[in-house]
Amino acid sequence: MLDYLHGVYPAVKITLHAGELTEGLVAPETLRFHMRESVRVGHALRLGHGTGVMYEDDPLGLLRDLASRNVLVEVALTSSDLILGVRGSRHPLRTYLKFGVPVTLVSDDAGVSRTTLTLEYRKAVEEQGLDYRMLKRMARNSIAYSFADEATRARLAGALEAAFRAFEARRTGPAPSN
**pLDDT given at position 173:** 59
Q: What CATH number is associated with residue 110?
A: 3.20.20.140
Residue 158 C-beta-side C-alpha neighbours within 13 Å = 6
Residue 172 lies in a domain: no
Record the pTM.
0.91
Residue 138 lies in a domain: yes
How many Å apart are CA 23 and CA 111, to the nearest integer?
25
**pLDDT tens by residue, 69-116:** 999 999 999 999 998 999 999 999 999 999 999 999 999 877 777 889
Compute, in degrees rounded to 10, the torsion defined by CA atoms 12, 141, 120, 100: 100
**pLDDT tens by residue, 118-177:** 999 999 999 999 999 999 999 999 999 999 999 999 999 999 999 999 999 997 656 666
Residue 171 lies in a domain: no
Is residue 20 among the annotated active site residues? Answer: yes
Q: Report which of 43, 42, 11 is spatially closest to residue 149, judged by C-alpha positions.
A: 11
Give mean pLDDT, residues 61-73: 98
How many Å apart are CA 30 and CA 157, to the nearest integer?
39
DSSP assignment, residue 174? P
